[in-house]
Amino acid sequence: MSFKIPILSELNEQTQQDIINAGIPGIDITLKNSVIGTLGSVQAGISWQHYEFLDYIAKQAVPWTATDEYLAGWGELKNTNQKAPTKATATVQFSTLDGIIIPKGTIIKRPDGWSYVTLADSINNQALIQSVDSGSKGNAGQGINLTLGNALAGVDAKVTALTSITGGADLEEQEAYRQRVIEAYRISGSVGREQEYILWAKSVSQVSRAWIGRNGFGIGTVIIWIMCDDANISNNGFPVGTDGSATKEYRYNIASGDQLAVANYIWQKQPVTALIIVCSPIAMPVDFVVTDLGVSNTIENQNTIKAALIDMFHREAVPGSQLHPSSWERAIGSVSSVAHYNIVSPTQAIIPLSKGHLPILGKVTFKS
């Protein structure tokens, strides 16, 4: 049974009663503004602070209730650190007069005022830009309007993003970090189990989900499929880069982008004999037709249903595995504002997918 910490008013009542019970001559009651009554209230307050401090210490004594630097300390014991925020990047195209080079450090602006900076001098009027500030707010789609922060002679103010601006991630929320720390303690005592590869992959800032494929390219190979749901929203959460292995891995092609970040992180932690290949899943859109909504066929309800289906795919979809109709029935059924509905399509479980194919939400058609 858990210990109940008395509240301040209870401690004050107890202290006042203890003063009366002490048998001090002439004191059979404590008045609110009396000296002895005030001293009792002060003592109650000090006791309450002690209780609260002891409760705080107890919470920091185990990783599942620890907070802030104490949680970080528990994580450090298992080489599991809170994911730092990252900056979004993209390749952009400039329009210039012949021979003009856009210098490194040129500021690029988004319509909302968010700033990017070129990381090197332009080559063939192209350059890599990076968000000035960290965080997911730096991410944007390929069609975003960009302009020069300051005018440059012979350079058009309009800047074209040749790729989506991706890779920006916020500081990992403490509860998400706590779950990774707890997972690290649960799987301790071995090196090379599936859970460890997943934990390593999800330790990279932009990675939100990961799965393992044993011997995917032959004996001794380990495939790690990753998703970057928050960092790469404009790419439907799929990693931006090419599949492959770590920079120091000589037995396979070197990856790039998000895949390389994961491969290089795992390189120092993996068993020495394993050949790790980090891959992006192949999108397998699943279209839905939802009918018989009646008066519930509103834009708000449609968006809520889509959000519920997206959440279902995030939680339950696995590369190469099928989903059961009960999954999307539960997802749509959880929308309390929809009184009745009928899922016309898909009519059955998804056919088992080929290796590496990940089912995602496709087009959703609604009918009253």
- Three-class secondary structure of residue 363 per DSSP: strand
**Shared-domain flag, residues 273 and 196:** yes
Q: Is residue 174 part of a domain?
A: no
End residue of a domain, out of 232, 263, 279: 279
CA distance 251 to 260: 15
**Shared-domain flag, residues 150 and 197:** no
Task: Report helix angle 35-60 to 8-21, nearest 10.
Answer: 130
**Shared-domain flag, residues 139 and 219:** no
Q: Tell me, what's the pLDDT at 72?
A: 93
Exposed/middle/buried for 173, CB within 10 Å: 0-12, 13-18, 19+?
Answer: exposed
Q: Is the pLDDT at 115 greater than 90, yes or no?
A: yes
Q: Is the pLDDT at 36 greater than 80, yes or no?
A: no
pLDDT (average), residues 229-233:
90
End residue of a domain, out of 251, 279, 307: 279
Q: Residue 8 — very low, low, confident or very high, per pLDDT cuts 50/70/90?
A: confident
pLDDT digits (tens, 9 = 90+) for 146-163: 999 998 888 999 999 998
**Mean pLDDT over all residues of the chain?**
88
**Shared-domain flag, residues 315 and 353:** yes
CA distance 59 to 66: 5
Q: Which element (helix H / strand E) includes 358?
A: strand 357-366
- What residues contact residue 134 under an 8 Å CB cut-off, 6+ apart? 84, 85, 86, 87, 168, 169, 170
How many independent structural domains does the chain possess? 4
Q: Tell me, what's the pLDDT at 43?
A: 79
pLDDT digits (tens, 9 = 90+) for 240-282: 999 999 999 999 999 999 999 999 999 998 988 999 999 999 9
**Shared-domain flag, residues 274 and 290:** no
- Three-class secondary structure of residue 9 per DSSP: helix
Q: Tell me, what's the pLDDT at 190?
A: 65
Q: Is residue 13 part of a domain?
A: yes
Q: Is residue 263 part of a domain?
A: yes
- What residues contact residue 111 under an 8 Å CB cut-off, 6+ apart? 144, 145
**Shared-domain flag, residues 291 and 326:** yes
Q: Which of 88-97, 173-182, 320-329 has the lowest mean pLDDT?
A: 320-329
Q: Tell me, what's the pLDDT at 6?
A: 80
Q: Residue 189 — very low, low, confident or very high, per pLDDT cuts 50/70/90?
A: low
**Shared-domain flag, residues 197 and 248:** yes
**Shared-domain flag, residues 295 and 343:** yes
210 near 227, Cβ under 8 Å? yes
DSSP 3-state percent helix, strand, coil across the chain (nearest 5): 30, 20, 45
Q: Are strands 357-366 and 282-291 parallel, antiparallel or unpaired?
A: parallel
Instruction: Output 315 or 39, whichever has higher pLDDT.
Output: 315
End residue of a domain, out of 233, 254, 279: 279
**Shared-domain flag, residues 196 and 273:** yes
**Shared-domain flag, residues 31 and 93:** no
What range does the domain containing 261 cover?
190-279
Q: Tell me, what's the pLDDT at 357?
A: 94
234 near 164, Cβ under 8 Å? yes
**Shared-domain flag, residues 308 and 228:** no
pLDDT digits (tens, 9 = 90+) for 59-78: 999 999 999 999 999 999 98
Q: Residue 48 — very low, low, confident or very high, per pLDDT cuts 50/70/90?
A: confident
Q: Tell me, what's the pLDDT at 26?
A: 61
Q: Is the pLDDT at 1 greater than 60, yes or no?
A: no
Can you say whether the dihedral through the CA atoms of 205, 207, 211, 217 is positive or negative?
negative
Q: Is residue 249 part of a domain?
A: yes
Exposed/middle/buried for 277, CB within 10 Å: 0-12, 13-18, 19+?
Answer: buried
Q: Is the pLDDT at 28 greater than 80, yes or no?
A: no
Q: What are phi and psi of 199, to 5 degrees?
A: -60, -40
Q: Which of 10-24, 117-131, 162-176, 256-270 has the lowest mean pLDDT?
A: 10-24
Report the amino acid identity of residue 245.
S
CA distance 291 to 340: 9
Q: Is residue 300 part of a domain?
A: yes
Q: Is residue 115 part of a domain?
A: yes
Report the amino acid identity of residue 316.
E
115 near 131, Cβ under 8 Å? yes
**Shared-domain flag, residues 196 and 268:** yes
- Joined together, the tokens standing for residue 103 give 């210098």
Q: Tell me, what's the pLDDT at 198?
A: 93
CA 341 vs CA 115, 216, 281, 323, 344: distances in Å? 46, 41, 32, 20, 9
What single DSSP character describes residue 234? G
Q: Which element (helix H / strand E) includes 299?
A: helix 299-316
Q: Is residue 74 part of a domain?
A: no
Q: Which of 99-103, 140-144, 360-364 has the lowest mean pLDDT?
A: 140-144
Q: Tell me, what's the pLDDT at 188?
A: 65
304 near 337, Cβ under 8 Å? yes
- Three-class secondary structure of residue 166 per DSSP: strand
Q: Is residue 67 part of a domain?
A: no
Q: Which element (helix H / strand E) includes 364?
A: strand 357-366
CA distance 352 to 357: 10
